[in-house]
A and B are shown apart, each in its own frame.
Chain A
Amino acid sequence: MSDTKTFVYMNRKAPYGTVYALESLEVVLIGAAFEQNVKLVFMDDGVYQLTKNQDTDGIGMKNFSKTYSALGDYDVNQIYVCEQSLKDRGLTLDDLQELTYEDEDDDWAEKSSIHLVSRDQIAEIVGSADVLLNF
């Protein structure tokens, strides 16, 4: 498969209450091996997926939040977080875990994968997609 497509993963659901966040992340990790152009959008309740200090001991479920920090190693480093969705939930960037990658075009400098975006910018990202995956 030589053709490269832009895959946009739209994440709009909170973790744990339903399985969608976990099983979406599994698709992202498997999909990384296909060397496509991958963008992740977190909007609406999807922003809850990225909060830091998640502690699932009390609910008896696996805490998969640390997996997000491995995305940079899989060359998944275009992560777009809806600023309005954060604001609506009383959250800021400081409430989210830091997600970084090493930029091979810039002497492997460590950079943030997270970009805060407006709804207009999300519209552009949706417009740029060949494939939109929703869970």
Chain B
Amino acid sequence: MKFAIQVNEGPFTHQASDTAYQFTKAALENGHEIFRVFFYHDGVNNGTYFGVPPIDDRNVQQQWSELAEKHDLDLVVCVAAAQRRGIMDEDESKRHGKGTSNIAPGFRISGLGQLIEAGIQADRLLVFGD
């Protein structure tokens, strides 16, 4: 089965991203396909590379990045939500004269159309949020 996953909350304040990660991992381990993980609202904060949680806590961003590398996942951060919250790749950063980018490995920035497309292409869409 082909799943699309939407994550509406950032790491640490809500469990949403953790639950989405565990679901995604379990789906992959059981032979399912993840068409895309779309990060929206504060969920875009999962894609910042600048988070440094304490060593005895999980690193939510790193978990996603590693899962993406292992399974060639498509992790998409909504551009409009990301701009509001200061998540930028190099192109966006240059365009807005910010001097540095902070998007984490394995994540890419794109538009809301990617969420709609995921809904169309996937067999099931699950939303994790507050």
Nearest chain B residue, comparing its CB with the CB of A3 = B120
Contact B112 A31 (CB under 8 A): yes
Majority SS at the chain A contact face: mixed
Q: Judge if B103 is at the interface, Cβ distance under 8 Å.
A: no
- A34 interface residue (CB < 8 Å to B): yes
| Number of B residues, CB within 8 Å of A | 17
B112 touches A134 (CB 8 A): no
Q: Tell me if B8 and A5 are in contact (CB < 8 A).
A: no
Interface-side segment among A19-27, A43-51, A64-72, A87-95: A19-27
**B116/A31 in contact, CB under 8 A:** yes
Please name the residue on chain A nearest to B124 by beta carbon. Answer: A131
Q: B8 — nearest CB in chain A belongs to which residue? A: A135
**What are 26 sample pairs from A and B whose C-beta atoms fall under 8 A apart?**
A1-B120, A5-B119, A5-B120, A20-B41, A23-B40, A23-B80, A23-B81, A26-B80, A27-B40, A27-B115, A31-B112, A31-B115, A31-B116, A34-B113, A34-B117, A34-B120, A36-B120, A130-B119, A131-B119, A132-B127, A133-B125, A133-B127, A134-B129, A135-B40, A135-B41, A135-B129
